[in-house]
Amino acid sequence: MCGIVGYVGPREATPILITGLKRLEYRGYDSAGVALLNGAGVKVVKKPGKIRVLEEAIGATPHHATCGIAHTRWATHGAPNESNAHPHTSNDGEIAIVHNGIIENADVLRTQLSAEGYVFKSETDTEVVVHLIDFLWQDGEPMERAVAAALRQVDGAYGIAVVSTRDPNKIVVARHGSPLLIGVGKDGEMLAGSDAAAVIEATRDVVYLDDGDYAVLTPDGYRTYHLEGHEVDRSVHEVTWDLDSIEKGGFEHFMLKEIFEQPSSIADVMRGRLLPDEGNARLGGILEHQFDLGRVQRVVITACGTSWHAGLVGEYMIEELAKIPVKVEYASEFRYRNPVLEDGTLTLAISQSGETADTLAALKESEQRGLTTMGIVNAVGSTIARETDFGIYLHAGPEIGVASTKAFTSQLVALSLFTLFMARGRNMSAAQGLELVQHLEVLPEQIQEVLKLNDEIEDLARSYKDAQNFLYLGRGYQFPVALEGALKLKEVSYIHAEGYPAAEMKHGPIALIDEDMPVVVLAPRDPIYAKVVSNIEEVKARAGRIIAIVSDDAPELQGKVDHMIKVPHTLPHLLPVLTTIPLQLLAYHIAVMRGADVDQPRNLAKSVTVE
Ligand code: G6P
């Protein structure tokens, strides 16, 4: 949630900050603002709405500022209006701060600071931090000392950047629980950002801060410290993806681009990991850690949103093929319910961003209980990737569309690689392993085939775009696909949709079915197909309009369904990779036809770094 950018160096800061903000807009888009140091004070411009509104407010006139900080907000405390927009400033206007996270003791601090005479102009938790910095700043001391003193009194999560006319040409950044990195530029340029996308136009060299770190950025370089006071050494990492991967590349929306990237993102998650000769997968992260998989008695998968749906598919796969009991938990529930975690439990956190606060907290809970932790993460160098003992990177490249698409299918494939690896170490024969490898190898081509259905699905979307509700049904491996299909539609088109196990429908949702209710049924030819056909009959008997996703000509369904979308066939546990894609396309086209902002749906953010 919320994106932060900072720049200090020889160039005009404003365009660099605005470009960085645009790259981070997926993190929140309720309001945006900048604070610029131009030798004559701190100039703050902030506006509710998207970054283009801020850009218009700033105008094209150069500000002659070579140091500044900027923010794009996803509101937590206070409505998304101008006074609550960041940056927030001290009462004398000499200090400005941008913040991502939640300050938990804000109310206590606000009371104390009000008693000291500080006047609050916003309802945000952030504003207490800037007044606290001001309160604690001793004459003549450097800004970082006052910032560190203030942060020692703050509870909660933060990524912050601070500038001040009292110590100009300097940015102090800090993190605890919310992501923040430094971009090490050339020729006297230093940057800061919530993720690498914010700085990549200037540099590929980044330094990830750890929780409890703060850093001082000046044209002469950077220094990193721990809040306790000592200097710390944080190494420079090179960002390996390029700018093209965060541009739309001719597509109308990032969501569509990312749906169409799936043949390559699926090839990338498998690259170098398939061992046809051994009928196995090579998972470098696990091998390097020399983890004894024989020790795993149970797997707890923890995740949120779309990643949680991938976890459900993982549960079915791991139990069926590797015969290990699995439990899938919403990270937000897991962390507060004091779960029973016996020795031999492996916690597997799944996250596209690697920054989701609830998933991270669930992971930390597991670590505190002494469990081994593993990640399936897309964002390289993200907090979850670094916190876990080992893991599998998706290598899907940056995902910008707020609704997750390519990351989901890559998570499914990463889970199938993990299942193969676990199963081959236990009960699965080399021949069975080889069969799985062979089916994985052809998945990218099969996805190409599915993408050819785009025009057909666009036509279908035209017929259903005005529906008020949708039901998605599936069984077995297709049940989580039904959940994901419904979530995609809700997220981007704002149509109410429910995903349900097809057979459970008769215990409630069947009451909703009439001629106005489109029902998407996942009906590929898997072992439960015959049962799904019966569930389709039940819907048809109530005049529901049925869209069936099938994996062959499905003669049993001819005349019983209104539309059939046919994807190629594969093994039952890999079918979700193929059956999900038509649902992504359906949600996309319906949303476009309804005029919704597909890449930045209302109220959502891609990376949810608050509880
Ligand atoms: C947000 C996003 C979802 C995503 C979820 C989990 O809600 O809008 O698309 O599935 O967070 O994110 P993660 O990065 O942990 O996969």
User: Per residue in 15-43, pLDDT tens?
Assistant: 999 999 999 887 777 899 999 998 889 99
589 CA → ligand 1 middle, Å: 21
| Exposure class string for 354-364: b at 16+ Cβ within 10 A, else e | bbbbbbbbbbe
Q: Residues 235-257: what's their mean pLDDT?
A: 86
The verdict on the CB of residue 304 being under 6 Å from ligand 1 is yes
* Pocket-testing residue among 255, 306, 409, 603, ligand 1, by greatest number of atoms within 8 A of Cβ: 306
Which residue lies with its CA nearest to atom 15 of ligand 1? Answer: 351
User: Is the pLDDT at 221 greater than 80, yes or no?
Assistant: yes
User: Is the pLDDT at 594 greater than 80, yes or no?
Assistant: yes
pLDDT for 604 equals 76
Name the most confidently modeled range: 239-243, 280-284, 386-390, 573-577. Answer: 573-577
The verdict on the CB of residue 382 being under 6 Å from ligand 1 is no
The verdict on the CB of residue 351 being under 6 Å from ligand 1 is yes
Which residue lies with its CA nearest to atom 2 of ligand 1? Answer: 606
Q: Residues 432-451: what's their mean pLDDT?
A: 97
Q: 518, 507 in Cβ contact below 8 A? A: no
* Pocket-testing residue among 304, 351, 412, 584, ligand 1, by greatest number of atoms within 8 A of Cβ: 304
What atom in ligand 1 is closest to the CA of residue 384?
15
404 CA → ligand 1 middle, Å: 7
362 CA → ligand 1 middle, Å: 15
Q: 389, 374 in Cβ contact below 8 A? A: yes
Q: Residues 149-157: what's their mean pLDDT?
A: 94
315 CA → ligand 1 middle, Å: 19
Confidence of residue 254 (pLDDT cuts 50, 70, 90): very high
At 105-151, the pLDDT tens digits run 999 999 999 999 999 999 999 999 999 999 999 999 999 999 999 99
Which residue lies with its CA nearest to atom 7 of ligand 1? Answer: 305
pLDDT above 70 as % of the chain:
99
The verdict on the CB of residue 414 being under 6 Å from ligand 1 is no
Q: Residues 223-246: what's their mean pLDDT?
A: 89
The verdict on the CB of residue 307 being under 6 Å from ligand 1 is yes
User: Is the pLDDT at 607 greater than 80, yes or no?
Assistant: no
Which residue lies with its CA nearest to atom 1 of ligand 1? Answer: 606
Q: What are the residues whose beta carbons fall under 8 Å from the beta carbon of 253, sequence distance 6 or more? A: 401, 588, 592, 598, 599
pLDDT for 1 equals 65
Q: How distant, in Å, are the alpha carbons of 104, 316, 334, 362, 514 from that of 339?
A: 25, 21, 7, 11, 41
pLDDT for 514 equals 85
Q: What are 339's two structure tokens? A: 């779960």
389 CA → ligand 1 middle, Å: 22
Q: What are 296's two structure tokens? A: 């795993």
What atom in ligand 1 is closest to the CA of residue 303?
15
Q: 301, 329 in Cβ contact below 8 A? A: yes
pLDDT for 78 equals 76
Instruction: Measure the CA–CA gap between 588 and 567, rounded to whole angstroms.
Output: 18
What atom in ligand 1 is closest to the CA of residue 604?
8
Cβ atoms within 10 A of the Cβ of 129, count?
27
The verdict on the CB of residue 502 being under 6 Å from ligand 1 is no
Q: Residues 466-474: what's their mean pLDDT?
A: 96
* Pocket-testing residue among 307, 376, 378, 610, ligand 1, by greatest number of atoms within 8 A of Cβ: 307
349 CA → ligand 1 middle, Å: 12
Torsion of CA 369, 375, 377, 379, to 10 degrees: 60
Q: Residues 269-282: what's their mean pLDDT?
A: 95
Q: Worst-scoring range by mean pLDDT, 179-188, 226-235, 244-253, 356-365?
A: 244-253
pLDDT for 506 equals 81
The verdict on the CB of residue 608 being under 6 Å from ligand 1 is yes
Q: What are 138's two structure tokens? A: 């001793």
User: Is the pLDDT at 508 greater than 90, yes or no?
Assistant: no
Q: 188, 8 in Cβ contact below 8 A? A: no
114 CA → ligand 1 middle, Å: 37
Which residue lies with its CA nearest to atom 4 of ligand 1? Answer: 305
Confidence of residue 510 (pLDDT cuts 50, 70, 90): confident
Active site residues per annotation = 2, 606
* Pocket-testing residue among 29, 608, 609, 611, ligand 1, by greatest number of atoms within 8 A of Cβ: 608
Q: Worst-scoring range by mean pLDDT, 18-22, 332-336, 492-496, 582-586?
A: 332-336
Torsion of CA 330, 178, 403, 571, to 10 degrees: -50
pTM: 0.81
Higher pLDDT, 380 or 317: 317
Higher pLDDT, 534 or 45: 45
DSSP 178: S
Instruction: Measure the CA–CA gap between 356 and 610, rounded to whole angstroms.
Output: 7
The verdict on the CB of residue 404 being under 6 Å from ligand 1 is yes
Q: Residues 226-252: what's their mean pLDDT?
A: 87
Q: Residues 301-305: what's their mean pLDDT?
A: 96
The verdict on the CB of residue 609 being under 6 Å from ligand 1 is no
Q: Residues 300-310: what's their mean pLDDT?
A: 97
335 CA → ligand 1 middle, Å: 17
Q: What are 442's two structure tokens? A: 């052809």
Confidence of residue 290 (pLDDT cuts 50, 70, 90): confident
At 563-574, the pLDDT tens digits run 999 999 999 999
User: Is the pLDDT at 407 greater than 90, yes or no?
Assistant: yes
The verdict on the CB of residue 305 being under 6 Å from ligand 1 is yes
Q: How distant, in Å, are the alpha carbons of 18, 260, 261, 265, 576 from that of 406?
A: 27, 8, 7, 7, 13
User: Is the pLDDT at 249 greater than 80, yes or no?
Assistant: no
Output the average pLDDT for the chain: 93
At 535-548, the pLDDT tens digits run 898 888 888 899 99
Q: 319, 338 in Cβ contact below 8 A? A: no
Q: 314, 348 in Cβ contact below 8 A? A: yes
For the chain, the 3-state helix, strand and coil shares in percent, each to the nearest 5, are 40, 25, 40
pLDDT for 509 equals 80
The verdict on the CB of residue 402 being under 6 Å from ligand 1 is yes
pLDDT for 610 equals 66
At 322-377, the pLDDT tens digits run 999 999 999 988 878 878 888 899 999 999 999 999 999 999 999 999 999 999 99
The verdict on the CB of residue 600 being under 6 Å from ligand 1 is no
pLDDT for 181 equals 97
pLDDT for 223 equals 97
224 CA → ligand 1 middle, Å: 30
135 CA → ligand 1 middle, Å: 38
At 522-531, the pLDDT tens digits run 999 999 999 9
130-133 long-range Cβ contacts below 8 angstroms, 24+ apart = 130/88, 130/89, 130/90, 130/95, 130/96, 130/97, 130/162, 131/90, 131/91, 133/90, 133/95, 133/97, 133/162
Q: Residues 604-610: what's their mean pLDDT?
A: 71
At 65-115, the pLDDT tens digits run 999 999 998 777 778 899 999 999 999 999 999 999 889 899 999 999 999
Q: 84, 69 in Cβ contact below 8 A? A: no
The verdict on the CB of residue 306 being under 6 Å from ligand 1 is yes
